[in-house]
């Protein structure tokens, strides 16, 4: 049985038995359409990002955009998401999950049409910013919706189902994008998500509603939050290309973070949820998740260069190799959900990070003479380890938070993922800047180091008897 623990959110002891406010999830008949609606929204966010990136070269050619400028199309999209996730989570707590979900769906649909009809770089850039805003409105709700839809005992199943959809969409999206470009204009890549948005909008009425808070909205905290996360990521991205600008961004981000932290510590339900971060299980889960996603992104950015420069693989082979990682996640997610109810979170996460580190290290061990089966086995191991980690860790992050704060918990989960991925990308940029010839090898090495840091966090977590919100 899990140990009970003090929550800084309220003067009471919380445990799995009482960490709920209102019904524990939806009845099965209502749960099924709610799950379908949620999974459609998740598919939108994954497909859009991956498919649009495939089309960048074609877009640059048709709209006569310089290569140095076209990269701002995905950058603007990502920055918009990371700057608005936590503020929008606070908005959801005040207006309700359904209203924000409707707004996000409509904005994303309209912005997709605008992107498809864009005739200039400026119009396409603004459309992508609006798509990022709509995607952020949806993404900040994913974690909280899972917490509201599924009973606590089925939470791991819900999380693993989300992982399967994300991983499957990640595998299919580049192929779908390439097929569209082969038979039609790049504009159809943005049109593809329109009917999915319409179906998602029709399913909104099946989604649960969360308790609302009536406190005054803190606009200054939202501005500070956007400044901290936006400038931190921008500073990391500019670290090698424009170090002076990078330093300026990071200094302003750090100064804003200090003001924001001092302000948040004085509030009961702050925009930046320092209150729930003080819950032991949530704090460990957030920190471990940050380094796990840094591991994933460091590897994903470095591996294509490694396969070209070291393995001398063809692009067809690279596509096959890269597909093994999400395939491993898909295979492992259901088993991870099953085991999460039988073993402590830290133990499962430790196993996941060890397997991921072994998979990445084995790629370096095989070297230039690696056979296809060796590379594919190593990549599959990486995906299996990452999939083994995700479900129990995300469950610890969501189950440890009272339901009345589930809205901001979902935003925290998404922000941690995006910031971890940005941190991993920045690490790769640093090593490539230090050694272009060995950058790919060092980038994979950086991913191994991040995995080992996540492993160390889970070792400490296992030594703390209060880290599991329920015996997952």
Task: Give a yes or no: residue 121 inside a domain.
Answer: yes
Q: Are residues 358 and 225 in the same domain?
A: no
Task: Give a yes or no: residue 5 inside a domain.
Answer: no
Most confident residue range from 138-152, 395-409, 439-453:
439-453
Task: Give a yes or no: residue 19 inside a domain.
Answer: no
Most confident residue range from 17-21, 254-258, 394-398:
254-258
Q: Are residues 160 and 40 in the same domain?
A: yes
Burial of 308 (0-12, 13-18, 19+ CB in 10 A): middle
Output the DSSP codes for 145-214: HHHHHS-GGGHHHHHHHHHHHHHHHHHHHHHHHHHHHHHS-THHHHHTHHHHHHHHHHTGGGS-------
d(CA 405, CA 268): 11
**Whether pLDDT at 117 is above 50:** yes
**Whether pLDDT at 280 is above 50:** yes
Q: Are residues 40 and 85 in the same domain?
A: yes
pLDDT tens sequence across 408-455:
667 777 788 888 877 887 788 778 777 777 778 888 999 999 999 999
- Is 214 or 329 the better-scoring residue by pLDDT? 329
**Domain that residue 233 falls in:** 219-266
Supply the CATH number for residue 303's domain. 1.20.1250.20
Confidence of residue 131 (pLDDT cuts 50, 70, 90): very high
Q: Are residues 232 and 291 in the same domain?
A: no
Q: Are residues 136 and 228 in the same domain?
A: no
3-state secondary structure 406-453: HHHHHHHHHHHHHHHHHHHHHHHHHHHHHCCCCHHHHHHHHHHHHHHH
**Whether pLDDT at 361 is above 90:** yes
Q: Are residues 257 and 339 in the same domain?
A: no
pTM recorded for the entire structure: 0.76
Q: Are residues 125 and 180 in the same domain?
A: yes
CA nearest to 293, candidates 250, 249, 341, 329: 329
| Structure tokens given for 195 | 């009917």
Our CA dihedral for 33, 34, 37, 40, rounded to 10 degrees, sits at -100
Confidence of residue 1 (pLDDT cuts 50, 70, 90): very low
pLDDT score at 3? 38
The strand pair at 13-14 and 5-6 is best described as antiparallel
> How many domains does the chain fold into?
3
Residue 216 per-residue DSSP state: P
pLDDT score at 68? 61
Task: Give a yes or no: residue 6 inside a domain.
Answer: no
pLDDT tens sequence across 177-201:
777 887 888 899 899 889 999 899 8
Angle at 77 between CA 70 and CA 38, to 5 degrees: 140
Domain boundary among 208, 236, 257: 208
Confidence of residue 7 (pLDDT cuts 50, 70, 90): very low
Q: Are residues 253 and 173 in the same domain?
A: no
Mean pLDDT of the chain: 81
d(CA 27, CA 25): 7
Picking from 64-73, 300-309, 359-368, which range would have the lowest pLDDT averaged per residue?
64-73
Task: Give a yes or no: residue 7 inside a domain.
Answer: no
Q: Are residues 204 and 286 in the same domain?
A: no
Q: Are residues 318 and 459 in the same domain?
A: yes
């Amino acid at each position: 049985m899990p140990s009970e623990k003090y929550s800084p959110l309220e003067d009471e002891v919380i445990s799995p038995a009482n960490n709920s406010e209102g019904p524990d999830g939806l009845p099965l008949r209502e749960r099924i359409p709610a799950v379908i609606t949620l999974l459609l929204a998740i598919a939108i966010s994954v497909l859009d990002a991956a498919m649009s990136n495939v089309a960048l070269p074609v877009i640059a050619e048709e709209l006569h955009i310089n290569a140095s400028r076209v990269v701002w199309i995905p950058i603007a999209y990502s920055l918009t998401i990371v700057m608005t996730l936590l503020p929008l989570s606070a908005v959801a707590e005040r207006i309700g999950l359904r209203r924000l979900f409707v707004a996000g769906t409509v904005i994303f649909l309209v912005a997709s049409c605008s992107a498809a009809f864009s005739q200039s770089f400026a119009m396409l850039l603004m459309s992508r910013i609006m798509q990022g805003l709509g995607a952020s409105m949806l993404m900040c709700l994913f974690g909280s919706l899972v917490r509201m839809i599924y009973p606590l005992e089925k939470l791991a199943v819900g999380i693993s189902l989300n992982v399967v959809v994300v991983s499957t969409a990640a595998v299919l999206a580049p192929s779908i994008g390439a097929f569209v470009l082969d038979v039609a204009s790049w504009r159809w890549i943005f049109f593809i998500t329109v009917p999915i948005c319409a179906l998602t909008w029709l399913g909104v009425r099946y989604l649960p509603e969360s308790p609302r808070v009536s406190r005054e909205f803190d606009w200054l905290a939202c501005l500070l939050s956007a400044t901290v996360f936006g400038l931190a990521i921008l500073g990391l991205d500019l670290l090698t290309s424009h170090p002076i600008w990078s330093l300026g961004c990071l200094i302003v981000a750090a100064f804003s973070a200090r003001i924001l932290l001092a302000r948040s510590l004085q509030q009961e339900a702050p925009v930046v949820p320092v209150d729930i971060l003080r819950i032991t299980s949530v704090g460990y889960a957030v920190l471990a998740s940050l380094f796990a996603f840094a591991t994933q992104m460091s590897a994903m950015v470095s591996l294509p260069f490694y396969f070209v420069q070291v393995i001398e693989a063809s692009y067809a082979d690279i596509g096959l190799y890269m597909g093994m990682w999400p395939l491993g996640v898909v295979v492992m997610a259901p088993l991870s959900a099953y085991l999460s109810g039988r073993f402590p979170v830290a133990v499962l996460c430790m196993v996941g990070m060890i397997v991921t580190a072994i998979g990445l290290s084995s790629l370096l061990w095989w070297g230039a003479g690696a056979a296809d089966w060796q590379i594919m086995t190593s990549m599959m191991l990486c995906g299996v380890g990452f999939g083994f980690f995700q479900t129990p860790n995300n469950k610890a992050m969501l189950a440890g938070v009272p339901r009345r704060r589930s809205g901001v918990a979902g935003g925290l989960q998404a922000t941690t993922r995006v910031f971890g991925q940005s941190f991993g990308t920045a690490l790769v940029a640093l090593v490539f800047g230090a050694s272009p010839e060995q950058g790919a090898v060092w980038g994979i090495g950086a991913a191994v180091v991040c995995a080992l840091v996540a492993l160390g966090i889970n070792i400490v977590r296992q030594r703390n008897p209060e880290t599991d919100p329920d015996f997952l």
